[in-house]
């Protein structure tokens, strides 16, 4: 599964749709342009028609990136998982760095991840610590740290998502071998992919250093709540138990408290998440 011919070339994969703010998209793409080891393949999937402001940002970035920027336009919105699957097929390199259209990468992000891929660990998935912010990166609201080693990641994945999706770099072949992204568990597309990759023999690790600023808002906490989210959460973790990744006791003790949090008022849920990620 692992490609020992890995070099310092990598692709960047982003999906954007018409509800994104143009200023956020500009800052996100600018942070990729400023990487200490630049990419020569930046794939941006437009998930359905965009508005004038977003298209204007893409045109500005096309002038800046030149032939490095590959803009893929979909006729209609197909969802993040489907858009990323289309984008993965367009990526030229074995190593692919995910980038959300409203986050900001540290300048050394990709360089640090590439060094891990070139290490003796030879991982298939590498993410790292992310710093949460609201409005601008001077307004820090939290931090998401994760276990570092493959063994710790596998254990942690039984309860929570073991990788920060906005900061992930992965091997394209490992993702394709595991079946790529799937919409089977809405809002858990990345978590579902990581588990299938780990079950398929992929190895993962995380970088302790912060490598990405992740934009959060009250809407972010709303998306992590509600009866439908709780239902999707229970279905996903039930699947983990069904395939033997977790024990029934772990499913009950680990999942039901989280599901209860999902149906709490948004302000309460937001306060809990902020306290966890401080």
Give me the residue spans of the domains in the chain: 11-216, 217-278
Angle, CA of 15, 28 and 277, to the nearest 5°:
95
> What is residue 130's three-state secondary structure?
strand
The per-residue pLDDT for 159 is 87
Token representation of residue 274: 């902020």
Paired strand residues for 12 = 42, 97
Contact 183, 102 (CB under 8 A): no
Phi, psi of 126 (to 5 degrees): -135, 120
pLDDT 10s digits, 197-245? 999 999 999 999 999 999 987 555 455 555 677 787 888 888 998 998 9
pLDDT band at 119 (very low <50, low <70, confident <90, very high): confident
Rounded alpha-carbon distances, angstroms, from residue 105 to 5, 95, 176: 26, 17, 25
Both ends of the chain: CA-CA distance in Å?
Answer: 37
The per-residue pLDDT for 6 is 43
The per-residue pLDDT for 278 is 52
CA separation for the pair 276, 268 (Å, rounded): 13
Q: pTM of the entire structure?
A: 0.87
The per-residue pLDDT for 258 is 57
Phi, psi of 169 (to 5 degrees): -125, 135
Contact 69, 41 (CB under 8 A): no
Q: Is the pLDDT of residue 22 over 80?
A: yes
Q: Is the pLDDT of residue 3 over 90?
A: no
pLDDT band at 252 (very low <50, low <70, confident <90, very high): low
Which CATH number among 3.40.50.2000, 3.30.360.10, 3.40.50.1000, 3.90.550.10 corresponds to the domain 11-216? Answer: 3.90.550.10
No. of H helices and E strands in the chain? 11, 9
Report which of 194, 137, 134, 199 is spatially closest to residue 168, judged by C-alpha positions. 194
Mean pLDDT of 268-276: 49
* Percent of the chain as helix, strand, coil, to the nearest 5: 45, 20, 35
Contact 183, 232 (CB under 8 A): no
The per-residue pLDDT for 232 is 79
Q: Give the other-Cβ count within 10 Å of 200's Cβ.
A: 14
């Amino acid at each position: 599964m692992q490609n020992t011919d890995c070099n310092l070339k990598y692709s960047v994969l982003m999906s954007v749709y018409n509800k994104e703010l143009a200023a956020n998209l500009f800052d996100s793409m600018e942070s990729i342009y400023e990487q200490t080891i630049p990419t020569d393949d930046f794939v941006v999937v437009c998930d359905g028609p965009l508005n004038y402001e977003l298209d204007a940002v893409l045109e500005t970035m096309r002038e800046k990136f030149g032939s490095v920027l590959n803009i893929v336009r979909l006729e209609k919105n197909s969802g993040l998982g489907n858009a990323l699957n289309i984008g993965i097929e367009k990526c030229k390199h074995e190593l692919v760095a995910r980038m959300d259209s409203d986050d900001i990468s540290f300048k050394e992000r990709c360089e640090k991840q590439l060094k891990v891929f070139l290490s003796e660990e030879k991982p298939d998935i590498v993410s790292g610590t992310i710093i949460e912010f609201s409005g601008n990166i001077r307004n820090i609201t939290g931090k998401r740290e994760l276990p570092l080693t493959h063994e710790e990641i596998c254990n942690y994945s039984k309860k929570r998502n073991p990788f920060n999706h906005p900061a992930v770099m992965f091997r394209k072949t490992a993702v394709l071998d595991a079946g790529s992204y799937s919409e089977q568990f809405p809002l858990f597309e990345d978590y579902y992919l990581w588990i299938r990759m780990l079950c398929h023999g992929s190895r993962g690790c995380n970088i302790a250093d912060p490598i990405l600023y992740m934009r959060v808002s009250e809407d972010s906490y709303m998306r992590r709540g509600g009866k439908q989210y709780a239902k999707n959460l229970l279905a996903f973790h039930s699947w983990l138990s069904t395939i033997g990744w977790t024990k029934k006791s772990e499913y009950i003790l680990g999942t039901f408290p989280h599901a209860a949090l999902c149906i709490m008022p948004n302000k309460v849920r937001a306060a809990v998440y902020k306290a966890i990620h401080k």
